A and B are shown apart, each in its own frame.
Chain A
Amino acid sequence: MNLRIISALVMRYLFLYSRTPMRLVELVFWPLVDLVVWGNVTVFIQKNSDAKFGEFILFFLGAMILWDILFRAQQGVAISFLEDVWTRNLLNVFVAPVRTAEYLGATFVVGFLRILVTCCVMSLVSWIGYSFNIFQLQWWLLPFFLNLMVFGWALGMISTALILRWGQAAESLAWAVPFFIQPVVCVFYRVEDMPAWSRPIAWLFPATPIFEGMREVMKSGTMNWNYLWLSVGLNVIYLTLAGALFVWVLNLTRKRGLLTKFATQ
């Protein structure tokens, strides 16, 4: 793994963002729309419920911000790959001395940078507009952040592998994949609120214990460590499997001779 090559690829994305401010708007605009909608719903519920529940309902905003960490990390990987496809640059990258791990590493860094931008803006707006301070999660925020980011990277690799496998016709998966799992990772409700048959499925995803943990921290100020270890363990499995899937699909694409077709179409 060569850090110079990763930094070169990251530099390319930074140039891209500095050249096209509209991309920065995209990073901030949709999350803000979501935040305002959920923020206003929260205010409405607060006004029409008892004080204790009204205080707790603020977790909607925390869930929104944490969900965006996962989503932006996934987008960092999948959209960075699509940028290369759209600009017909993929071939230049694949015939340069860039290892698959370096290419993915650069997309992970881009994912991290995207999260930083989005989260800073959302945290600030939710604090000013709705008196929700994300830092009430205290030090728990750090493992929440890291686990959701790693799961986002894994989903990004899965999305990219699917796009590589099925070509540009499948590029909407770059946006869709996180939403396939959103209903079962309990972003806005507890696992026990789900139908009994679907609860075991929810615990198969590393994001579920994080969202459960977030609600617990907001309610009681502490969290069951088992949630954290479960999330870490599942993330190791997901990251390994997603990386293996990406490499396998990339090799398959090479074997079938589809990489060039895909990169120049």
Chain B
Amino acid sequence: MSATPDTREVVLEARELTREFDGVKALDRFSFKLHRGEVLGLLGANGAGKTTAMNCLLGLTLPTSGELNAFGLPLQANRISILQRSNFSSAYTALPGNLLVWQNLSVFARIYGVPNPKKKIAELMELLEISHLGKRVTGQLSAGESTRVNLVKAFLNDPELLMLDEPTASLDPDIADKVRKVVRKVQRERSIAILYTSHNMRDIEEVCDRVIFLHKGKIVCEGTPTEIMSRSSSNNLEDVFIKIARDGEILDEPKKEEAP
């Protein structure tokens, strides 16, 4: 964990976020800050609370208690203006499968009010090496192609905040590597704040600046991938993941950031 306070703008902040389902806490006083230009990995075993956290951050699920702010504004009260500056891509959602790729992307470009949408779509498709897919039926794409089309949709509005839910799930190592590189490239060029969930530790090591490990809805470990590996005396994040998933091992008490 970095000792020097981060002076960059806080793009997304959760304070004491708790979400209960039938008395069971899926998220338990979850707090974090995501800064401009930072990629924050949200890790944990199945049921650790990642998806619940992501859903709360997207406004799809309301927290039982706690505060959520994006761009300094309360999320629920400013949902539309915040979503206009954000975007999302998940391996578990799809664009309508019976439309052509360009049709799907044109619809979302219009929703986000993208100026000169044709040019923007063409640029992003070229960046993700899928220019040839424009006239293909979305539902007939391979997993790798579909993921990249979803990423084009996610980058359409030049988001300042991007939430990526397992973007490399079900991709072969070659495509996963390409996706990681593109995400990192665009993120650096545009200083995007990204919240990234993945079960692929290679993803996390390569893409994330900082990582939060969740276990039973609580933060059990937070820091840069290198710091976490060194604290855990592990050579890779996968070992850390397994230790936490099996034992709920707390590597250290997460250091609380000072209130602004």
Tell me, yes or no, whether B96 is within 8 Å of chain A by CB: yes
A92 B153 Cβ-Cβ under 8 A: yes
Q: State A99–B97 Cα separation when bound (angstroms).
A: 24
Chain A residues with a Cβ closer than 8 Å to the other chain, count: 32
Which of B5-13, B86-94, B228-236, B250-258 has 4 or more CB atoms under 8 Å from chain A?
B86-94
Instruction: Name A's interface SS.
Output: helix
Tell which of A4, A259, A263 touches B93, judged by Cβ atoms closer than 8 Å.
A263
Tell me, yes or no, whether B72 is within 8 Å of chain A by CB: no
Return chain B residues, CB-CB under 8 Å to A99.
Answer: 80
Known contacts A257-B21, A263-B93, A264-B92: A92-B98 contact under CB 8 Å: no
Return chain A residues, CB-CB under 8 Å to B96.
Answer: 12, 16, 83-84, 87, 89
B61 A19 Cβ-Cβ under 8 A: no
Q: State A255–B22 Cα separation when bound (angstroms).
A: 12
How many contacting A-B pairs (Cβ < 8 A)?
102
Which of B100-108, B120-128, B178-186, B203-211 has 4 or more CB atoms under 8 Å from chain A?
B100-108
Tell me, yes or no, whether A5 is within 8 Å of chain B by CB: yes
Return chain A residues, CB-CB under 8 Å to B100.
Answer: 15, 19
Q: State A259–B106 Cα separation when bound (angstroms).
A: 25
Tell me, yes or no, whether B55 is within 8 Å of chain A by CB: yes
Tell which of B19, B60, B62, B110 touches A11, judged by Cβ atoms closer than 8 Å.
B110
Tell me, yes or no, whether A30 is within 8 Å of chain B by CB: no
Q: State A69–B245 Cα separation when bound (angstroms).
A: 57
Q: Tell me, rounded to whole Å, the shortest Cβ–Cβ distance linking A79 to chain B.
A: 14
Instruction: Name B's interface SS.
Output: mixed
Return chain A residues, CB-CB under 8 Å to B19.
Answer: 257
Nearest neighbor of A91 in chain B, beta-carbon distance: B93
Q: State A12–B111 Cα separation when bound (angstroms).
A: 10
Q: Tell me, rounded to whole Å, the shortest Cβ–Cβ distance linking A152 to chain B.
A: 24
Return chain A residues, CB-CB under 8 Å to B191.
Answer: none
Q: State A230–B99 Cα separation when bound (angstroms).
A: 43
Q: State A260–B217 Cα separation when bound (angstroms).
A: 18
Across the A-B interface, the 9 shortest Cβ-Cβ residue pairs: A8-B110, A87-B96, A257-B61, A97-B83, A97-B84, A15-B103, A91-B93, A88-B94, A12-B107
Q: What residues of chain A have their CB less than 8 Å away from a CB belonging to chain B?
A: 4-5, 7-9, 11-12, 15-16, 19-20, 83-84, 87-89, 91-92, 94-99, 251, 254-255, 257, 259-260, 263-264
Interchain residue pairs with CB less than 8 A apart (11): A9-B107, A12-B99, A16-B98, A19-B99, A88-B92, A95-B58, A95-B86, A95-B88, A251-B62, A254-B61, A259-B55
